[in-house]
């Protein structure tokens, strides 16, 4: 389990099948159970195998990665071979965590061909920007810009973008929605969300404020890494003044997981909430 623990603990937080395979219907709750098991500090191989088997078989890369790590960690007869096969499935989809893990495993093999492929996979994970891989490279005294990574073509937005858009109807706000608090001071803002009975600040220091007369916009763009690879998240909060101490509030959150296959519904998603904001202290 030593290798499995090392690989799991190297992840900052916490994806499918090859291009010609079809992703089966996935129970998101089952995948969340897998992620929860994989991110526990006291996670063991048996927990990963139990929690991640179904979503892995359904074709979710993060689950395939964790399931493969669990098998390698258990290390019973045939487990290492099966674990590598599951890592291969996840890595084939472009999952950086699995690519790094598979490369690390292959670098321990005696076969020169396996070692060479391990180096290729390691370099691929580094060029993707996967933090544990970049950190491992730095620990070896090599800078990322010295290994010949090609520029990321999907980051260039040069050219014209045209889209046919449709109106999206937002249903009336009902019971049980999120509770939000904004605190403005000295051209800056703090954003809080209600958790149980307490207010918890979110994305501290990451929000920007723009204002035009009676309207104000609070926005943040953020990125990080988890079992699914890199996520890119944006928050937009708009307040439209309706009275001295009242405003209409609209909250839009969008999330993009570029390393998750398009067939999975949570690759990209957005949530919208709206309501009335009241000022407590003028």
**Strands, sheet with 229-243, edge to edge from the N-terminal-most edge strand:** 208-212, 215-226, 229-243, 246-256, 268-278
Cα–Cα distance for residue pair 47/15, rounded to 1 Å: 18
Tell me, yes or no, whether 140 and 193 share the same domain. no
pLDDT, average across residues 33-50: 89
Angle (deg, nearest 10), helices 96-106 and 112-128: 150
Domain that holds residue 57: 2-151
End residue of a domain, out of 132, 151, 170? 151
User: Which element (helix H / strand E) includes 69?
Assistant: helix 61-74
Tell me, yes or no, whether 145 and 248 share the same domain. no
60: buried, middle or exposed (CB in 10 Å: 19+, 13-18, 0-12)? buried
Q: Does 206 reside within a domain? A: yes
CA torsion 36→37→38→39, rounded to 10°? 50
pLDDT digits (tens, 9 = 90+) for 122-137: 999 999 999 999 999 9
pLDDT digits (tens, 9 = 90+) for 70-110: 999 999 999 999 999 999 999 999 999 999 999 999 999 99
Tell me, yes or no, whether 203 and 74 share the same domain. no
Tell me, yes or no, whether 137 and 31 share the same domain. yes
Q: Domain total for the chain?
A: 2
> The whole model's pTM is what?
0.77
Q: Does 115 reside within a domain? A: yes
3-state secondary structure of 102: helix
Q: Does 258 reside within a domain? A: yes
Task: List Cβ neighbours of 79 (8 Å cut-off, separation of 6 or more).
Answer: 71, 72
Q: Does 168 reside within a domain? A: no
pLDDT higher at 8 or 34? 34
pLDDT, average across residues 234-257: 92
**Inter-CA distances, 167 with 91, 164, 170, 250, 274, Å:** 38, 10, 9, 16, 17
Cα Rg of the chain, angstroms: 22
């Amino acid at each position: 389990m030593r290798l499995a623990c090392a690989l799991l603990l190297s992840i900052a937080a916490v994806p499918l099948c090859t291009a010609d395979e079809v992703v089966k219907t996935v129970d998101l709750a089952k995948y969340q159970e897998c992620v929860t098991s994989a991110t526990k500090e006291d996670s063991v191989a048996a927990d990963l195998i139990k929690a991640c088997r179904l979503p892995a078989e359904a074709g979710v890369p993060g689950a395939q990665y964790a399931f493969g790590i669990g098998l390698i960690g258990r290390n019973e007869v045939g487990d290492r071979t099966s674990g590598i096969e599951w890592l291969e499935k996840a890595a084939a989809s472009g999952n950086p965590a699995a690519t790094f893990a598979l490369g690390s495993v292959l670098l321990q093999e005696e076969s020169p061909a396996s070692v060479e492929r391990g180096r290729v996979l390691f370099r691929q994970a580094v060029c993707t920007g996967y933090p544990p891989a970049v950190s491992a490279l730095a620990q070896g005294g090599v800078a990322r810009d010295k290994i010949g990574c090609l520029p990321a073509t999907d980051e260039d937005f040069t050219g014209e973008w045209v889209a046919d858009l449709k109106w999206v109807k937002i249903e009336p706000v009902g019971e049980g929605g999120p509770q939000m608090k904004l605190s403005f001071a000295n051209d800056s803002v703090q954003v809080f969300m209600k958790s149980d009975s307490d207010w918890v600040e979110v994305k501290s220091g990451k929000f920007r404020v723009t204002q035009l007369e009676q309207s104000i916009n609070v926005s943040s763009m953020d990125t990080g890494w988890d079992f699914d690879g890199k996520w890119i998240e944006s928050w937009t909060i708009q307040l439209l003044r309706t009275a001295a101490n009242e405003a209409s509030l609209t909250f839009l959150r969008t999330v993009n997981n570029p390393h998750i296959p398009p067939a999975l519904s949570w690759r990209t998603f957005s949530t919208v909430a709206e309501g009335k904001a009241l000022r407590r202290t003028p």
